[in-house]
Structure 1
């Protein structure tokens, strides 16, 4: 099913973010995003502590892997990463903060 994200160019992140949120209506998808982002932060902390760059790869695999499972199996849509990589990355962290602070429900 085509979405607005597939066709539209955005003038700013503020224009993009409402459409990004509309592609995260499934609760399990949001939970997987949150879990993957939390694990990615943990991996980055371990990279800083151990000076082992393999943790950077682990961070990317956790962050994107969990999110993509959420999209393909639960949300049944294509991740915005494929169409708007920078805005999607930014959207992940804004949504993470909003989930963490209760602005968006799990």
Structure 2
């Protein structure tokens, strides 16, 4: 289904993340991305930035393929999916979504 706004997409995105372990893996991957980004900036090691998508998507895709048993939304909606990752991360961090 084509989405014309992130507001329309996000309920679909949340529906693709009903499995608690999948959400936890997303959260861990996103947290590690932030820590790695900070480490790369503080140490001046730009080469570490190449690991960001590996860590971020790696944890998320394990969650989808092995626990949620669905195909990540990234494959069809890459930008909205990336935005959804971070909105969901902050909502979990604030306790708005259970993880």
TM-score exceeds 0.5:
yes
Match of 2:18 in 1: 25
> Deviation above 4 Å: which 4+ runs of structure 1?
none
* 2:38 is the counterpart of 1:45: yes
Higher relative contact order (CA 8 A, sep 6+): 2
Total equivalences in the alignment: 99
TM-score, normalising length from structure 1?
A: 0.91
2 CA distance for matches of 1:88 and 1:11?
13
2 CA distance for matches of 1:57 and 1:39?
13
Give the RMSD, CA atoms, in angstroms: 0.6
2 CA distance for matches of 1:87 and 1:78?
15
Pick from 84, 87, 92 the counterpart of residue 80 of structure 2: 87
TM-score, normalising length from structure 2?
A: 0.97
